[in-house]
């Protein structure tokens, strides 16, 4: 046997002897009355410490799960933020504005906004009682074509027309409707000669089939917009009739496009 192996064996035996001595010492200590109560307290504290360690381990596991969940939420929020930023940077030009362009119309043709009366001031004479006016009636506009409606339009009707081109025409037609009826709702005394001429033309174009509705003719489109009344424009009108945005009323060699 080599000397190194003998030394290792001796070291191992000495460690065992030392361990047995420590066990005998601890056993003898446990038999002493003065130390028995202290050992019991130490044992109780060890049990409590073991329970506390188990609770801490459980809490750490829960925190790890929560941390993983928060990481997933953070990734999801970052994706949503990027998508929202992309949508914000690429808003389609044909979407309607948040502020409505409709105008309140009164019985006597006054298109100014209604004002809210403040508290009466002493010394002021009360205004004369005015005749009750009708409820304000908005100028009707044609709604934009939705993506689903565009897809439902027959191919022969669409041709090479795009979704944006159709809605651009809808917006221009709404401008013509707005321009026309703003004039119709103005007092005659506030009009100049050119506007009064338009006013009388608008009245002459009214029929029993258009009464109570909002309509325009090709002359109004030329007057209030930059649209060209060409073949493409009439193709788009066919699509708008198909989607029930406008309807035609013919008479006196004139085609009236009534807003649905």
Specify the CATH superfamily of domain 147-259.
Ska1 microtubule binding domain-like (1.10.10.1890)
DSSP string, 76-112: HHHHHHHHHHHHHHT--TTSPPSS-------TTS--S
pLDDT at 30: 61
pLDDT in tens, the chain (260 residues): 566 777 878 888 888 888 888 777 776 666 667 666 777 777 788 888 888 888 888 889 989 889 999 998 998 998 898 888 878 877 776 655 543 444 444 444 444 444 444 444 444 455 555 555 555 578 889 999 999 999 999 999 989 999 999 999 999 999 999 999 999 998 988 899 999 999 999 999 999 989 889 999 999 999 999 999 899 999 999 999 999 999 999 988 899 999 98
220-226's contacts with Cβ under 8 Å and 24+ in sequence apart are: 220/176, 220/177, 220/179, 220/180, 221/172, 221/173, 221/176, 223/176, 223/179, 223/198, 224/175, 224/176, 224/178, 224/179, 224/180, 225/172, 225/173, 225/175, 225/176, 226/172
What pLDDT does residue 115 have? 42
| Predicted local confidence at residue 130, as pLDDT | 56
- Residue 120 has what DSSP assignment? P
CB 213 within 8 A of CB 206: no
């Amino acid at each position: 046997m080599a000397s190194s192996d003998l030394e290792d064996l001796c070291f191992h035996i000495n460690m065992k002897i030392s361990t047995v001595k420590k066990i005998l010492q601890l056993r003898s200590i446990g038999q002493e009355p003065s130390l028995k109560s202290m050992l019991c307290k130490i044992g109780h504290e060890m049990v409590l410490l073991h329970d506390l360690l188990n609770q801490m381990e459980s809490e750490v596991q829960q925190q790890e799960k929560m941390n993983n969940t928060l990481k997933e939420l953070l990734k999801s929020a970052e994706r949503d933020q990027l998508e929202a930023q992309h949508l914000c940077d690429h808003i389609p030009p044909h979407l309607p504005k948040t502020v409505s362009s409709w105008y309140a119309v009164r019985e006597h043709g006054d298109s100014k906004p209604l004002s809210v009366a403040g508290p009466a001031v002493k010394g002021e004479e009360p205004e004369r009682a005015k005749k009750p006016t009708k409820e304000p009636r908005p100028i009707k506009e044609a709604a934009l074509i939705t993506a689903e409606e565009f897809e439902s339009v027959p191919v022969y009707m669409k041709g090479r027309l795009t979704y944006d081109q159709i809605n651009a025409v809808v917006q221009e037609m709404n401008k013509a409707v707005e321009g026309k009826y703003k004039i119709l709702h103005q007092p005659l005394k506030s009009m100049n000669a050119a506007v009064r001429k338009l006013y009388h033309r608008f009245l002459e174009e009214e029929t029993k089939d258009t009464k109570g509705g909002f309509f325009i003719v090709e002359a109004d489109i030329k007057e209030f917009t930059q649209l060209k009344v060409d073949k493409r424009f009439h193709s788009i009108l066919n699509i708008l009739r198909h989607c029930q945005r406008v309807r035609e009323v013919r008479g006196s060699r004139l085609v009236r496009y009534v807003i649905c």
